[in-house]
Structure 1
Amino acid sequence: MADAEEHIGRQIVEAQHSASMDDLFRLHAGWLRTFLLRRLRAQPADVEDIVQDTYLRAARQPTTVIVHPKAFLSQTATNLFRDGKRRDSVRARHRESVAHAGAGTGSAPPGLLEQEAALELERLIVAMPDTYRDVFALSRFRHMTNAEIAAHLDISVKTVEWRMGKALAFCASRLRD
């Protein structure tokens, strides 16, 4: 019996808390938007997200804790705004360091350089004329000798060597561009 009464009591408190959050939002959301735009100079696109996150944080607080709603809301919104700016700054520095590293310093993450190299190689092979591509792919990816390639393609070894030279010259010219 006591458990049932306690459960009903918790439901009543939660319902009151939900109603008070609705009231808090209805009374102060417009003021909070203006505060963010004018005082913090937040971007209009970010304002609604910050307002929503502010009320989500407020909803986690017991209603008795929020004695001065405007002070609570403005401080919470300010903290969220600063956190967002800090995150943006860290991301911008990271993007800048990756871009700077990719510009030739050699300190870019190895996985990124490998992916870029693989993509560039794929582009080169796709752009290569078919006759060069066949010889190049059999040599570099199937690790076949010139004699094996000649037998496989039913051409002479001299033709394999000539086409391989042309394929490598094609790659070199594309990489210089």
Structure 2
Amino acid sequence: MTDTKQLGAEGQDGLGRLYRQYAPWLGRRLRGRIGADAAADVVQETYIRAAPYALADIRHPKAFLLRIALNLLTDSHRQDALQRRHQVAAPPPVSEAAVQFDAALLTETIRDMPPLYRKVFVLSRFGGMTYPEIARTLEISEQTVKWRMARALEYCASRLDL
């Protein structure tokens, strides 16, 4: 069962008359704002929304129909804005060649890094070791590990244009 009520013969005649009389006018008003195809859809939806109202209760049909159409446009814009807000921008696709180039560039950068920085960098980033573990392994202070790691990151950033 639906919530919509069936129009009697009188209501259908009144709505048909209203449509024939004002649909071309409403379509022209909307075309300038949203284009011909979208305007035709909004005109149709406007009359669907106007169907439950009694024709005798509508004093200013143009204002009534235009208000319904503008409300439909407002609802549509709100819906679009809500969807855009909740969409996560997909990162641009990365080609296999770009990935291989980046990997080769990173490998070359690490290979050319001064050995003191490289050891700390590799143990941290590729070995998964913490700074205290690196300090124990290399028999240096944790502060030295932090200093060397900072220099290694600066070196990478300067070579990779980051």
- Taking structure 1 as the reference length, the TM-score comes to 0.45
Could you say which structure has the higher helix fraction? 1
Q: Taking CA–CA contacts closer than 8 Å with sequence separation of 6 or more, which of the two structures ends up with the larger relative contact order? A: 2
